[in-house]
Amino acid sequence: MCCYLSPNIEMHEYESDVDSIMNRIDRRQTIVLGDINAKSSQWGASRTNKKGAYWLEWIHALDMVVLNTGREPTFVRGQTNQTTLTCLCRQTKLLSK
């Protein structure tokens, strides 16, 4: 599943969009890729914001794993760079392949 979530929407709308994405995925074998504009130390950001914390709730609830390590920024513009969640997957079957 590929997704984009704008950094300019209110938190309640953001949560609704995340819920919609996560409720549509195949829970057996799924990779989620996207620009979700959320920060968490789990994927290399210096801090976790509300949007990142909301994703983490879903990630843990569905037993998913964050694949990007945060070693390289996922966004670079001039002197600004940051790492956002770009890839997560269902742990059981996809990682064993």
Domain extent, residue 21, equals 2-94
Alpha helices in 1-97 (DSSP H): 11-24, 50-61, 91-94
CATH of the domain at 61: 3.60.10.10
Tally of domains within the chain: 1
**pLDDT tens for residues 7-55?**
999 999 999 999 999 998 876 677 888 888 898 888 888 889 999 999 9
- The DSSP element (H or E) to which 81 belongs, if any, is strand 80-82
**What's this model's pTM, rounded to 2 decimal places?**
0.79
Which pLDDT score, from 0 to 100, does residue 16 have?
98
